[in-house]
A = this chain, B = another copy of it.
């Protein structure tokens, strides 16, 4: 029986909100982040320090950082693509500077407009800037299990990025299924190849539920000992490639499963459900979380007086 602790990195206020067409007012972003921090979650991503023209939704990153409550025990994270972003994030006292490269060259070229090796050089500059600060770098490998443009990804390219991250002193790397292309088979193959090769690196999973497999992929990771997961409250977010598709796995759905299986998580499920409902209210449309709609498996129903249509 597992009785181990899982650490969830909540990315709803960044990766989740990023796909929202309407600008979410700064004070509402702050409200959501503060609610998430108050649940006891140990890692909460608050913003992305990118060019406001590239991601207008994140143009208030510095303001958001100034406005949020800092709770001892919760590390606030932000995505930084370059030195300029890193400087701004360091000025804002971001705890975790999230840095990323995509394993797919096609995706890299589109995402950061430079080839992998050049992008890794940019990350070295970010690491130099962060040196001596209280902040740490956390790595993300994008499209680690498949690229929407070029298809299957060679795990050797993932390994090349992890090697570069190790050289930068990064100790935690999330393998990201950016557009939900992985099945448990790819999750297992990647972990089984990478973990013996990088024994000092902690591997986490950043999963999307685009094709309904996000929680199954999380299970595959859990079974192999992964204890670090990135997810989004209420399943906030979407997929830029398919308007009706969903984005990140839902934090409370994943936590609900983990707790039912005997794992410990840092937040109470009821508190997470309340945050998911707040997130839904803030974005103003239905989001994909399921436990927020169905209730927990331990929430029982009163026996009805009249028999309804019999389910099976």
With an 8 Å Cβ cutoff, the count of chain A residues facing the other chain is 79
Is A7 an interface residue, CB under 8 A from the partner? no
- Contact indicator B54/A303 (Cβ below 8 Å): no
Q: Which of A113, A142, A149, A294 has the most CB of B within 10 A?
A: A294
Known: A180-B294, A185-B260, A216-B218. A310 touches B55 (CB 8 A): yes
Which of B50, B148, B182 is within 8 Å of A300, CB to CB? B148
Chain B residues with CB under 8 A of A150: 300
- Contact indicator B245/A301 (Cβ below 8 Å): no
- Contact indicator B106/A257 (Cβ below 8 Å): no
Chain B residues with CB under 8 A of A253: 211-213
Chain B residues with CB under 8 A of A219: 184, 216, 219-220
Give 1 or 0 for each of A237-276: 1 = CB within 8 Å of chain B CB. 0011110111000100100110011100000000000000
Is A179 an interface residue, CB under 8 A from the partner? yes
- Contact indicator B181/A297 (Cβ below 8 Å): yes
- Contact indicator A211/B256 (Cβ below 8 Å): yes
Q: Whole-angstrom distance from the CB of A131 to the nearest CB of chain B?
A: 24
A233→B122 CA distance, assembly (Å): 47
- Contact indicator A240/B309 (Cβ below 8 Å): yes
Which of B215, B245, B309 is within 8 Å of A54, CB to CB? B309
Chain B residues with CB under 8 A of A256: 211-212
- Contact indicator B290/A209 (Cβ below 8 Å): yes
Give 1 or 0 for each of A199-222: 1 = CB within 8 Å of chain B CB. 000000010011111011011100
Q: Which of A112, A212, A216 has the most CB of B within 10 A?
A: A212
Within 125-152 of A, Cβ neighbours of B (below 8 Å) are at: 140, 142, 146, 148-151
